A and B are shown apart, each in its own frame.
Chain A
Amino acid sequence: MNQGTAPVDSSHWPEAIFDVLCDAGVGQVAYVPDAGHARLIELCIADESMQAVALTSEEEGVALLAGAWLGGARGVLLMQSSGVGNCINMLSMVQECRFPLLAIVTMRGEWGEFNPWQVPMGQGVGAALANAGVIVHHVDEAGEVAETVAAASKLAFNAFRAVAVSISQRVIGSKEWK
């Protein structure tokens, strides 16, 4: 699909993000396993033109993608909101060197959250990223995910900026506790 085109079926937003990443020429996909990103991660692992790199902690991905850019490759960092806090000092490298950074953050600790331990970091994501010099695009509607990631990708790789797309639990679906 073309960049900026939302899928007809909004439940397929992970597939739509994958198409945007392909169009953007993303070669390295850094991730910490996450329920919200599970489908997208599967697609990236299955794509032979992408190198999927599982991380032990999210700040590894910030440094990995800095190295990728030094080598001429584009990447994306996939993480849950709890991982944002792990990245903060490493993001100083991104700001100082003006490395492009595209991050896609699946939110916890907001819409319909059950686990109170997720709330502090989830509620702090926007301010924490802003303080670290990262531009944040927040998405509440599944139909707007693809166009938002496409716009963030352009801002990251054409304007050389650190950009995070945060996807609401309203889109992902709140984790069910039974």
Chain B
Amino acid sequence: MNPSEASPASLDRREVVAQLLSGRGDALLITGLGSTTWDAAAVGDGAANFYVWGGMGGAAMIGLGLALARPERRILVITGDGEMLMGLGALATIAVQRPKNLAVVVIDNEVYGETGMQFTHTRHGVDLAGMAAAAGFESARTVYTQSDLDTLTTVLYDAPGPLFADIKVSTERHETVLPPRDGTYLKHRFRRALLGDAEEGALAGRNS
């Protein structure tokens, strides 16, 4: 497959992620393995970011567990189309739980960027936003243009969830920006920032 034959989408993934995160406030971020993690790291590393370097297909479900545990906080999952396709059941599971504070955003370049730019199913027409809508997400959309993106940005942190957006981006590849990758470090850093030292001492109980 030749990347030059790929989608004509014009949005740039790095600019998209930078715009999405510019208004995040105290939102907590989960990224999927691969390019969406590099995209988030390029915007800036921080304790409220948890990067999933493995467990492909699990990013949205981590977001759900976090959203249910912390209903007072906004949770944003940013992942890739390949990662989302591996965990499609999560769309149904999330829709049934209806977390108002969760948004799942797919940065959809329609290829597996880390393995040689092979087409994903979205390149062949599989409609992730349609699947999320059919599952019962409160809001689901596909973003094609800057105007679409601007509209999404205005509702991403405020609209009642669960919210889903599939953002079509170009296949242009960027410098790989590597955030920390030690899982225990990322976990402790995130929990300390969110829960404080006492809770991070692992005294956390039910819903606390």
Residues of A within 8 A of B (CB): 25-28, 49, 51, 53-57, 59-75, 89-90, 92-93, 96-99, 157-158, 160
Contacts and interface: CB of A to CB of B under 8 A. Distances in A.
B54 A92 contact: yes
A53 B68 contact: yes
B199 A64 contact: no
Contacts of B90: 56, 60, 63
A160 B204 CA distance: 12
A9 B202 CA distance: 34
B55 to A, nearest CB: 4
B199 to A, nearest CB: 6
A79 to B, nearest CB: 14
Interface in B64-116: 64-70, 87, 89-90, 92-93, 96-97
Interface residues of B, number: 42
B206 A67 contact: no
B194 A71 contact: yes
Contacts of B87: 59-60, 63
Contacts of A67: 30, 61-69
A46 B54 CA distance: 34
Contacts of B59: 63
B207 interface: yes
- Lowest 5 A-B CB distances belong to which pairs? A67-B65, A71-B69, A56-B89, A63-B58, A97-B183
Contacts of B199: 72
Contact of B61 (A25, A64, A71, A158): A64
A156 B97 CA distance: 26
B38 interface: no
A72 B195 CA distance: 7
A160 B202 CA distance: 9
B187 A27 contact: no
B187 A99 contact: yes
A21 to B, nearest CB: 10
A57 B90 CA distance: 9
